[in-house]
Amino acid sequence: MSTSHFNKPSANLTQEGCRFVLQLLLGLLLGIGGMDKASAREQLFQPYKHGLGELRYIGGLPVVQLEGTPQEIGEQHAALLAKPAVAVLKYPKKLFVESGAEKVWPMAVGVSKRLLNQAPQRYRIELAAAAQHADLDGDEVAVANTLLEMRRLGCSTLIVEPARSQTDGPLLGRNFDFPSLGLLEKFNLVMIVRPEGHHAFAAVGYPGLIGVLSGMNDAGLALATLDVYEAGNKSPQLELTGVPLLLVFRQILEECTTVDEAEALLKRTQATTWANLAVCDCERGAVFEITPTEVARRDASGAILPCTNHFREEGLAVNTQCWRYDSLQSAVHGAKLDIEDIHQ
């Protein structure tokens, strides 16, 4: 599980940023057991510097910092993470094989490359630089960076607004629940990215992936994505004219500072598939129920906002039965929550 905790930002946000504590419990992130020992991780991630980029350990966790133009960030990604990226990028095809879908791999590659061509140019430049300088397999890079469009993944989130938080600021907790196939639990790390001309952000990610599954920016805007398995509005499960969602979610962190700004960006961007996106700024939270034809917003009730893998808004909801959601929703009737409560 990963939990984000913010204090209210100072008035001079551009100079000081939003003061926050981002607790990243990587061992619990995938729900697959305890954290690897630091010594084992150090064999996979070697501390190193390249230009403005650096890979180091903080509290036993691998943290990579990338900074500069898209070309520079891509080159830093390659220099610092090339070896583990080669291993991680085997995951999508292995997932296809394990799922009995190996025959559709060539089609998945073609769809992934088409979707990436519709991404903002700065991401295409960054990804191309990383692949070129690390000598990565282009097919594997494409599918990995459009994995939300290729495969359904399970997870849960809980947003606690300030009125129900013991910290005087909002809380956002999330977990992932999907097969690691003996790969992902070894290679997760914290990425801190400072793109030129945009907001800096921190994310829990993997070598070779440049999009965002879970992250928070320097304005205190945090988000986490959750897959959805069915939609009641008859929208297509895959829209080939859309922008890969992992990159859209990164774009939100780079360009937005509030929940409302995130909503506006989502509504002007063509979505590729069904997804929930939990978003929390320094004052409030919301869940955006995303389909290729519409984006609905669900706000907190009683300053508590749970989310799992179902749409719940009228017109989008199909099946709202979920014991995980009911468990999280029970927090509405309890006392104020702190970070430890969210972990549990």
Q: What is the 3-state secondary structure (H, E, C) of 78-137?
A: HHHHHHHHHHHCCHHHHHHHHCCCHHHHHHHHHHHHHHHCCCCHHHHHHHHHHHHHHCCC
For residue 148, the model assigns a pLDDT of 85
50 neighbors 37 (Cβ within 8 angstroms): no
Global pTM value = 0.87
For residue 59, the model assigns a pLDDT of 85
For residue 213, the model assigns a pLDDT of 92
Q: What is the pLDDT along the chain (344 residues), one digit of tens a residue?
A: 444 443 333 333 333 333 333 333 333 333 333 344 455 556 788 999 999 999 999 988 899 999 999 999 999 999 999 999 998 898 888 888 887 888 988 999 999 999 999 999 999 999 999 999 999 999 999 999 998 887 656 678 888 888 888 888 888 888 776 667 777 778 889 999 999 999 999 999 899 999 999 999 999 999 999 999 899 999 999 999 999 999 999 999 999 999 999 999 999 999 999 999 999 999 999 999 999 999 999 999 888 899 999 999 999 999 888 888 888 888 777 778 787 777 76
For residue 44, the model assigns a pLDDT of 81
Q: Give the start-end residues of each E strand in 135-221.
A: 154-160, 171-177, 189-195, 201-205, 214-217
3-state helix, strand, coil in the chain (%, to 5): 35, 25, 40
For residue 188, the model assigns a pLDDT of 87
